[in-house]
Structure 1
């Protein structure tokens, strides 16, 4: 698969590192630098769109985890699906609860366990934002054919798995 090379900012940065440190192989910057740049730009776009709803990306991640679940979740389950820390989940869920976007309930089985559930208002926020987010993601990937997307996802998955938890 031959793709014409259109230079980008990462090419410049990689070249600068290679010139500054010619004894080192700067090739990984070409891959990981682009992953970081794409993640940064996509995150900035998401942040701007979430401002309208008065929530942060982390808060949206929590609401999204709860909206995807078919049941209330323990905080530890939200941690495992959002990649946020337990301490941040506690702080985020307290704020979301105060604003009526999620509710905290005691488990019927074990009163010591707190379960988190998205409220109707929280679900409405997710329902409003997720189609816009997916459309924005689609625009980012528009230049890739379906087989290229599959290949890219497969390669990135391999890297992700090799990094471990």
Structure 2
């Protein structure tokens, strides 16, 4: 059985027989896997009425702990400042995040989870991890580990070239 990228590769190979399509094979498959996993992995979040970007804000606040500035939150979630501002506003309205003005500089905000926000993350995380594990069933554990290690190497390479390290 062929995957969708194999079909694309065969089509390009017919048009450009001498072209090395190995990068397309890897990047194309990574992109397609990411899109499919993202779509399928968001099911538990949707059931809780939370979008993936909102969950990423809540999860970053929970795992880093304490208070984060919007700038730090943007780095942790790989989102723009404007996107973080919008998400935080929505989460504040729902009582999941609270904003505290800095005592020395009123332009600086400190964000943290409310009790309700923390309870939501603590409830969603195990369900989310379980759901993501179920999506990977059928792929042997050793192969999962190898893929995770290889993708980790690729990520370090790309972060070094393109940036994107959380600070």
Smaller-chain TM-score range? 0.7 to 0.9
Show the counterpart of 1:3.
Answer: none
What are the ranges of 5 or more consecutive residues in structure 1 without an aligned counterpart? Answer: 1-5
Bigger RCO (CA 8 Å, 6+ sep): 2
How much does 1:50 deviate? 2.1
Question: How many aligned positions are there?
Answer: 160
1:117 paired to 2:106: no
Q: Distance in 2 between matches of 1:98 and 1:146?
A: 42
Aligned Cα root-mean-square deviation (Å): 1.9
Give unmatched runs, 5+ long, in structure 2: none
Q: Deviations over 1:84-114 (max 9, x none)?
A: 1111101111111111111111234544321
- What is the CA distance between 1:63 and its match in structure 2? 0.6
Q: Distance in 2 between matches of 1:90 and 1:118?
A: 15
Asked if 1:155 corresponds to 2:150, the answer is yes
* Conserved? CA contact 2:41–2:132, under 8 Å: no
TM-score, length-scaled by structure 2: 0.85
Q: Is residue 96–residue 115 contact of structure 2 (8 Å, CA) maintained in 1? A: yes
Cα deviation digits, residues 21-56 of structure 1 (max 9, x gap) = 324222222222221122111111233332222221
Query: Which of residues 90, 102, 114 is equivalent to 1:95?
Result: 90
CA separation of 1:108 and 1:141: change in aligned 2, threshold 3 A = same
1:58 aligns with 2:86: no
